[in-house]
Chains A and B, each alone.
Chain A
Amino acid sequence: MSDLKTLYSDIIRHHNESPFHFEKIEHAPVVLRANNPVCGDRFDLFLTADQKRISALHFHGFGCAISKASASVLVKSLEGRSLHEANNICNEFIHFIDNKPLHAPQELTDDFKAFSGVHNFPERRDCAILPWSAMKTYLESKLGRNN
């Protein structure tokens, strides 16, 4: 039970129940699909970005508490960031889930650390990183093209 309390930390529960920017955005310039074919979890990230910065970010879809909270934290963490910053933060989050030391910006550490319970549930790793992987793929391709 204590493992479950760590997995479903208060911050994760809060993000699951009151997700940040949880809405469908019609005509969003970019829609990223984060899809786990194994379990059917599916989120769309609605993104407005110019060549340098993410100006607006929302998400909508269906998934478990871990993947939904993770998408909510992603949206909260990346909106307003430069593409470079956002990409670094994606990497930091995924590294942290993979048991590497956390080097995220100060203001994000509480939200990120809320996912430390996933370390004891390796089968939930994919839930935690689902939206971050989709975002990372997009950012890397966009940054690669800019260079």
Chain B
Amino acid sequence: MALPLHTIKDQFPIFKNRPELVYLDSAATSHKPDSVILALNDFSEKENASVHRGLYDLSTDATRRFENVRKKVSDLLGVSNPSSIAFTKGTTESINLIAHGLIRKKLKLGDTIAVTAMEHHANFIPWQQLCHQRGALLNILPVTKNGELNLSGIDSMLGPRTRLLCLTHISNVLGTINPIEEIISIAHRKKIPVLIDAAQSTGHYPMMVDSWDADFVVFSAHKMFGPFGTGVLYAKQEFAPYIEPLNFGGGAIRNVTTEHTEFLDYPYKLEPGTPHVAGVIGLGAAIDFIQQLDLAETSLFTRNLTQKFKARLHELGGARILGQPSNFGSIVSFQMENIHPHDVASFLAQANIAVRAGHHCAQPLLESMGVPATVRVSFSIYNTEQDIDKTIDALAALKRFWSR
């Protein structure tokens, strides 16, 4: 029996401490439920120990719980092998590990990396810079004015020298849900591996990584009710032996001599130094929380809120929504006529409504759509229809204020 959504907000203490808060920026970071905060505190209060080191109970317990989170992550992602899960600092580090720990050494002059125009900078800049460094070409799959990937050119874009295709599951600006299964299958027909940026989808949408046959999947805990500074890299087993660490240090080794170091296998070789143990335990608690939800229900719930908000914006008038993707999640970007997004965000902030304004770390996307900045609203399971009412009321007040 899934947790009922109409009372779920009670589990997020931020709203007890700030009852007036209308939080519409979950795409930037989500709030944390009691259970995650408790797990983080409990670990520090009762179990604090490093992992893979001590021979005493505290450390063995911490190690067991830490390792158990790999299983929780693999279950959440729909992956059969927990050893395919490496812990990182977040999505950005996970992507850089693949860029510089794997792709770099096989990327030759004139090879190409394929990305899409709707990537977050985290899944764009590492590839752009790697291409600069290696004399490779960055191919960018364009976005239609509806805010969907223009798949008509994908076949010609992916060639024999394409070493990797990187794309986001859900756009952090437009909310577009990309047909990743179809795209992965197109790429695989040409033997091109695919990296999926799942920062906006993990924990919010049902994930079936094994069945999608994705080669790499990356995400951050803090966007899915978990702690900051903790993320995940999933790599398909066939690539795991070839991913080289970018950071070196203790814990990730099998044997060290004065001349040579023999590293542990994936994923341990990528986790040198004392890891963020509490962060990983917190990620585990976030997954436990998510496993009590019905993700098909929650994703429909946030989609409905988004759909209602779009309709109310339309009724309000003077708002232009960026893109009209047919398959969208819990995110919408818009502009108010003659009012800059920052001024909109400042105005909403005065009414205790938290939204994001700017380019949302996706400048190439905004540029391709001819827009310098937008206001972004993103919904999560703790949002309500009252949040929409308050936001629309505040936008109506903003329009009056601006036309006085």
For B340, the chain A residues whose CB sits under 8 A away are: 63-65, 68
Task: Give the docked Cα–Cα distance between A65 and B401 (Å).
Answer: 13
Q: Are B372 and A40 in contact (CB under 8 A)?
A: yes
Q: Are B342 and A62 in contact (CB under 8 A)?
A: no
Binary flags per residue of B365-392, CB closer than 8 Å to A gives 1, else 0: 0100000110000000000000000000
A138 at the B interface (CB under 8 A): no
Task: Give the docked Cα–Cα distance between A66 and B341 (Å).
Answer: 12
Q: Are A40 and B358 in contact (CB under 8 A)?
A: yes
Task: Identify which of residues 28-55 in chain A touch chain B, using a CB-to-CB cut-off of 8 Å.
Answer: 38-42
Task: Give the docked Cα–Cα distance between A1 and B394 (Å).
Answer: 11
Q: Are A39 and B358 in contact (CB under 8 A)?
A: yes
Binary flags per residue of A117-134, CB closer than 8 Å to B gives 1, else 0: 000010110010000000
Binary flags per residue of B335-354, CB closer than 8 Å to A gives 1, else 0: 00001111100110010000
Distance of A42 from chain B, by nearest CB (Å): 7
For A143, the chain B residues whose CB sits under 8 A away are: none
Q: Are A39 and B359 in contact (CB under 8 A)?
A: yes
Interface SS of chain B: helix
Q: Are B343 and A64 in contact (CB under 8 A)?
A: yes
Q: Are A64 and B342 in contact (CB under 8 A)?
A: yes
Task: Give the docked Cα–Cα distance between A63 and B340 (Å).
Answer: 7
Task: Give the docked Cα–Cα distance between A7 and B340 (Å).
Answer: 14
Q: Are B357 and A124 in contact (CB under 8 A)?
A: no
Task: Give the docked Cα–Cα distance between A8 and B404 (Å).
Answer: 12
Task: Give the docked Cα–Cα distance between A65 and B341 (Å).
Answer: 10
Q: Are B401 and A4 in contact (CB under 8 A)?
A: yes
Q: Are A3 and B350 in contact (CB under 8 A)?
A: yes
Distance of B339 from chain A, by nearest CB (Å): 8
Interface SS of chain A: mixed
Distance of B253 from chain A, by nearest CB (Å): 39
Q: Are A124 and B346 in contact (CB under 8 A)?
A: yes
Number of B interface residues in the complex (CB < 8 A): 16
Q: Which residue of A lies closest to B367 (CB)?
A: A40
Q: Are A39 and B350 in contact (CB under 8 A)?
A: no
For A7, the chain B residues whose CB sits under 8 A away are: 346
Task: Give the docked Cα–Cα distance between A47 and B342 (Å).
Answer: 27
B363 at the A interface (CB under 8 A): yes
Task: Give the docked Cα–Cα distance between A68 and B287 (Å).
Answer: 45
**A1-B350 contact given A39-B358, A40-B363, CB 8 Å threshold:** yes
Q: Are B373 and A4 in contact (CB under 8 A)?
A: no
Q: Are B346 and A40 in contact (CB under 8 A)?
A: no
Name the contact of A39 in the complex, choosing from B339, B342, B401 (C-beta under 8 A).
B342
**A127-B342 contact given A39-B357, A40-B363, A62-B372, CB 8 Å threshold:** yes
For B350, the chain A residues whose CB sits under 8 A away are: 1, 3-4
Q: Which residue of B lies closest to A127 (CB)?
A: B342
Distance of A39 from chain B, by nearest CB (Å): 4
Task: Give the docked Cα–Cα distance between A39 and B350 (Å).
Answer: 19
Task: Give the docked Cα–Cα distance between A68 and B372 (Å).
Answer: 14
For B357, the chain A residues whose CB sits under 8 A away are: 39
Task: Give the docked Cα–Cα distance between A29 and B343 (Å).
Answer: 33
Q: Are A39 and B373 in contact (CB under 8 A)?
A: yes
Distance of A100 from chain B, by nearest CB (Å): 23
Distance of A65 from chain B, by nearest CB (Å): 5
Distance of B58 from chain A, by nearest CB (Å): 43
Task: Give the docked Cα–Cα distance between A66 and B345 (Å).
Answer: 13
Task: Identify which of residues 203-243 in chain B touch chain A, using a CB-to-CB cut-off of 8 Å.
Answer: none
Q: Are A121 and B358 in contact (CB under 8 A)?
A: no
Task: Give the docked Cα–Cα distance between A86 and B331 (Å).
Answer: 45
Task: Give the docked Cα–Cα distance between A127 and B366 (Å).
Answer: 20
List 20 interface pairs A-B (beta carbons < 8 Å), by A numbering: A1-B350, A4-B346, A4-B347, A4-B401, A8-B343, A39-B341, A39-B342, A39-B359, A39-B373, A40-B373, A41-B342, A63-B342, A64-B341, A64-B342, A65-B343, A68-B340, A121-B346, A123-B346, A124-B342, A124-B346
Apart from A39-B341, A39-B358, A123-B346, 11 more pairs, CB < 8 Å: A1-B350, A4-B346, A4-B350, A7-B346, A8-B401, A39-B373, A40-B358, A64-B342, A66-B342, A66-B343, A68-B340
**Which B residues form the contact surface with A (CB < 8 A)?**
339-343, 346-347, 350, 357-359, 363, 366, 372-373, 401
**Which A residues form the contact surface with B (CB < 8 A)?**
1, 3-4, 7-8, 38-42, 62-66, 68, 121, 123-124, 127
**9 nearest CB pairs, A to B:** A64-B342, A64-B340, A39-B358, A40-B359, A40-B373, A62-B372, A65-B343, A40-B372, A64-B343
